[in-house]
Amino acid sequence: MAGNAWRSLLTQAVGVAVRKPALASASFSRGVKTVTMIPGDGIGPEISAAVMKIFEAAKAPITWEERNVTAIKGPGGRWMIPPDAKESMDRSKIGLKGPLKTPIAAGHPSMNLLLRKTFDLYANVRPCVSIEGYKTPYTDVNLVTIRENTEGEYSGIEHMIVDGVVQSIKLITENASRRIAEYAFEYARNNKRTSVTAVHKANIMRMSDGLFLRKCREVAENYKDIKFTEMYLDTVCLNMVQDPTQFDVLVMPNLYGDILSDLCAGLIGGLGVTPSGNIGANGVAIFESVHGTAPDIAGMDLANPTALLLSAVMMLRHMGLHDHADKIQTACFDTIRDKKVLTKDLGGSAKCSEFTAEICRRVQDLDE
Amino acid sequence: MMALILFRTFLTCPDACVFQMVQDPTQFDVLVMPNLYGDILSDLCAGLIGGLGVTPSGNIGANGVAIFESVHGTAPDIAGMDLANPTALLLSAVMMLRHMGLHDHADKIQTACFDTIRDKKVLTKDLGGSAKCSEFTAEICRRVQDLG
C-alpha cells in the first residue's frame, strides 16, 4: 500500500517525463529539437540528405524523424496522410518537406492540399532575397510575401447558373483575414522588418477585399512600430518589375499571393533557390522547397539543394536558432558567390555531393 | 491566294506566367486572359517596358466601337507647363491607325517616335532628358516629314 502511494507520488512528481519518454527526450535532452523530415519524391531524398549533412556539419541541435506522407485511404474511404506521419508532425510541430508528386490514381487528392487541410496551414511565407553570384535582371531584392492560404478565390465553390454562365465564389472571412494579418505583423516584428503592405483590389471588390483590408488596418493598430501601407495589386506588379527594392513584407489574400509569390521567386532566379514556409494553427509549421521532383535527374547526384536548404534555414529562424541559421546561410551564399563549386542549374558543373561538401567545409570554417 | 496562319496555343496559369515573364519575357507573344489576370499582367508588362508613360492601350467594344487611350494619370503637378511626355497617347493613336488599316501612316509616326527616343538628343524629363513637350513633339514632326 505504502509502495503504491509512493509510486503514484513519484509518478506525479516526475510527471510528463515518465509517461511520455519520446516527448521528454525530444524537448529536454540537451535542447535538441525533433523535426519531421519528409524527403519527398524524385530528387527529394538526395536534397534532404544534403540538408541533413550540412546541419550535422553546423552542429545544429536537430534530430530528424523521417516520414512518408503519401496519402492512404482511411476508414470511411477518405484520403488521409499516414497516421504515423500525422503523429510525428503533431508531436514535433516542425516539418521540412521536399517535393511531392501527386499520384495519378483516380480521385487522388493533391498532396499539398491534403497537408494544408490536415494541419490548417493558413500562411504561406516566401522570403525572396537576391543571391549574390546568381545573376538575374533584378539585384538587391529583399522582400517577403505572406499569402493567406485557406480561402479567397480558391475556395473551390463554383456553380453553373445556366448553360454557358458559371459563377465562382471568392470567400473572405473576418477570422482568416485577421489571422493572416496578425501573422504578417508578428513575422515583421520577429524578423526586424520595417513595413507591412496589404495588397488588395478593394476598389473593385469592395466587400471581400474591403473586409480583408479592414482587418489588416485593425491589426496594424497593435503594431505601431511597424509601418503599414496599402497598395492595389496591379500597382504592386507594375512597381515590382521596375524597382522591387521598395517592398518589404507583403500580405495578401490567396490568389494574389499565388501570383505574387511566384513573380518574386522569378525575380531572384526561380524555384530552385526560393525557400518557403507554411504556418499552421496549433503551432505547426512546415518548411518546403517549392520546385518539382525533377524525375529526369533524380538519383544522379545532380540536384541543387539550395531551395530546401534555405527553407531549412527559415525553419531554424522560426525555432529561434538564429546563430545556426546565419552560419548555414552564410556558407551557402558564400559558396554561390565564389562560383567555384556550383551545380548545373546555377551555371557550374559540380555534383550535388560536391556542392554540399563545399558548404559543409565553409560551415566548419565559420566555426573556427 | 490563301494565307496560311500558323499559331500555337498554350495554356498557362497566371503564377507560372508571371514567373516566366520576369525571367524571360521574350518567350511570350499574344496573351489572352480573363479580367483579373489581365489587370495584373497588363500592368506587370507595362512595368517591364518602362511604365505607363510609354504604354499604349486600346479598348474594343461591340458594334465596332473602339477607344484607344493612354493609361497614365492626369499629372496635375505638371499640367499646363509644357513638360508632359506624349508618347503613351501617341503610341495609342498609332494603335488606332493600325486598327483603321492605315498602316503606312502608323509605321511612319511610330518610326519617328522611336528614332527620337533612341537618339536621346531631345527627350522629356521622364525619359531622362530636359526637353519641353513642344520640343519633343517638334522633333517627331521633323522626322515624320523627313520620312515622308
Please give the average per-residue pLDDT across A36-46, as a whole number.
96
Nine cell digits for residue A336: 554561390
DSSP A320: T
A291 to chain B nearest CA, in Å? 12
Instruction: State phi, psi for A157 to the nearest 5 degrees.
Output: -100, 105
Q: Say which residue the cell 567545409 belongs to.
A: A361
The pLDDT score that the predictor gives to residue A73 is 86
B21, pLDDT greater than 80: yes
Mean pLDDT, chain A, whole residue set: 90
Sign of CA dihedral A178, A174, A286, A294: negative
pLDDT digits (tens, 9 = 90+) for A323-337: 999 999 999 999 999
Q: Do A261 and B14 touch (CB under 8 A)?
A: no
A35 by DSSP, 3-state: which? strand
A30, pLDDT greater than 70: no
Shortest CB distance from A234 goes to which of B22, B40, B50?
B40
pLDDT digits (tens, 9 = 90+) for A124-173: 999 999 998 888 999 899 999 999 999 999 888 899 999 999 999 999 99
Shortest CB distance from A262 goes to which of B15, B46, B50?
B15
Nine cell digits for residue A195: 513595413
Antiparallel, parallel or unpaired: β A277-280 and A285-288: antiparallel
The pLDDT score that the predictor gives to residue A149 is 95
Looking at chain A, which residue has its C-alpha nearest residue B36? A234
Report CA A102 to chain centroid distance, whole Å. Answer: 19
Contact B22, A266 (CB under 8 A): yes
A7, pLDDT greater than 90: no
A126 to chain B nearest CA, in Å? 14
pLDDT digits (tens, 9 = 90+) for A343-363: 999 989 999 999 999 999 999
Q: Say which residue the cell 518557403 belongs to.
A: A276
- Both ends of chain B: CA-CA distance in Å? 31
Higher pLDDT, A25 or A50: A50
Report CA B115 to chain centroid distance, whole Å. Answer: 15
| Rg value, chain A, Cα | 22
Looking at chain A, which residue has its C-alpha nearest residue B50? A242
pLDDT digits (tens, 9 = 90+) for A263-287: 999 999 989 999 999 999 889 999 9
Shortest CB distance from B18 goes to which of A235, A242, A266?
A266
The pLDDT score that the predictor gives to residue A14 is 47
Q: Is the CB of A270 inside 8 Å of chain B's CB atoms?
A: yes
The pLDDT score that the predictor gives to residue A5 is 57
Residues of B in contact with A238 (CB under 8 A): 43-44, 46-47, 51-52
pLDDT digits (tens, 9 = 90+) for A216-257: 999 999 999 999 999 999 999 999 999 999 999 999 999 999
Distance CA A231, CA A213 (A): 10
Inter-CA distances, A56 with A40, A50, A92, A359, A364, Å: 20, 10, 19, 11, 10
Q: Would you list the DSSP string of A256-318?
A: HHHHHHHHHHHHHT-TTS---EEEEGGG-EEEE--S---GGGTTTT----HHHHHHHHHHHHH
The pLDDT score that the predictor gives to residue A19 is 38
Distance CA B27, CA B47 (A): 17
B114 to chain A nearest CA, in Å? 21
The answer for A 222-241 residues in CB contact with B (under 8 A) is: 233-235, 237-241
The pLDDT score that the predictor gives to residue A25 is 36
Distance CA B125, CA B80 (A): 15
Report the percent of chain B where pLDDT is more than 70: 94
Distance CA A79, CA A199 (A): 35
Half-sphere exposure of A258 (CA within 13 A, CB side): 14
Q: Do B15 and A258 touch (CB under 8 A)?
A: yes
Nine cell digits for residue A288: 518546403
Nine cell digits for residue A52: 541533413
Please give the average per-residue pLDDT across B58-63, as a whole number.
96
Q: Is the CB of A179 inside 8 Å of chain B's CB atoms?
A: no
Q: Is the CB of A262 inside 8 Å of chain B's CB atoms?
A: yes
Residues of A in contact with B20 (CB under 8 A): 266
Packed helices A306-318 and A322-338: angle between N→C axes, nearest 10 degrees: 160
Contact A227, A194 (CB under 8 A): yes
Q: Is the CB of A243 inside 8 Å of chain B's CB atoms?
A: no
Q: Is the CB of B33 inside 8 Å of chain A's CB atoms?
A: no
A345 to chain B nearest CA, in Å? 14
Q: Is the CB of A267 inside 8 Å of chain B's CB atoms?
A: yes
Please give the average per-residue pLDDT across A9-13, as a whole number.
51
pLDDT digits (tens, 9 = 90+) for B72-123: 999 999 999 999 999 999 999 999 999 999 999 999 999 999 999 999 999 9
| Rg value, chain B, Cα | 18
The pLDDT score that the predictor gives to residue A12 is 52
Distance CA A67, CA A83 (A): 10
Instruction: State phi, psi for A45 to the nearest 5 degrees.
Output: -60, -40
Q: Do B43 and A265 touch (CB under 8 A)?
A: no
Nine cell digits for residue A19: 509517461
Q: Is the CB of B40 inside 8 Å of chain A's CB atoms?
A: yes
B34 to chain A nearest CA, in Å? 13
The pLDDT score that the predictor gives to residue A9 is 54
Distance CA A71, CA A82 (A): 6
A136 to chain B nearest CA, in Å? 8
Chain B interface mutation, best of A128, A205, A259, highest count of B Cβ atoms under 10 Å? A259
Report CA A134 to chain centroid distance, whole Å. Answer: 22
Nine cell digits for residue B9: 496555343
Q: Do A234 and B52 touch (CB under 8 A)?
A: no
Cross-strand partners of A93: none
Sign of CA dihedral A353, A359, A360, A362: positive
The pLDDT score that the predictor gives to residue A181 is 98
Q: Is the CB of B104 inside 8 Å of chain A's CB atoms?
A: no
Inter-CA distances, A38 with A49, A71, A91, Å: 11, 13, 15
Residues of B in contact with A241 (CB under 8 A): 22, 44, 47-48
Residues of A in contact with B42 (CB under 8 A): 234
The pLDDT score that the predictor gives to residue A101 is 84
Residues of B in contact with A292 (CB under 8 A): none
Distance CA A244, CA A139 (A): 9
Looking at chain A, which residue has its C-alpha nearest residue B45? A238
Please give the average per-residue pLDDT across B24-43, as a whole number.
94
A26, pLDDT greater than 60: no
What value of ipTM does the predicted structure carry? 0.85
Report CA A48 to chain centroid distance, whole Å. Answer: 15
Nine cell digits for residue A305: 539543394
The pLDDT score that the predictor gives to residue A29 is 44
Q: Do A262 and B19 touch (CB under 8 A)?
A: yes
A236 to chain B nearest CA, in Å? 8
Nine cell digits for residue A82: 499516414
Contact B115, B143 (CB under 8 A): yes
Contact A157, A168 (CB under 8 A): yes
Report the percent of chain A where pLDDT is more than 90: 77
Rounded to 5 degrees, what angle do the CA atoms B120, B124, B130 make?
A: 80
pLDDT digits (tens, 9 = 90+) for A72-130: 888 888 888 999 999 999 999 999 999 998 777 667 777 888 899 999 999 999 999 99
The closest of A137, A268, A292, A271 to B24, measured between CA atoms, is: A137
Looking at chain B, which residue has its C-alpha nearest residue A267? B22
A271 to chain B nearest CA, in Å? 9
Instruction: State phi, psi for A34 to the nearest 5 degrees.
Output: -90, 135
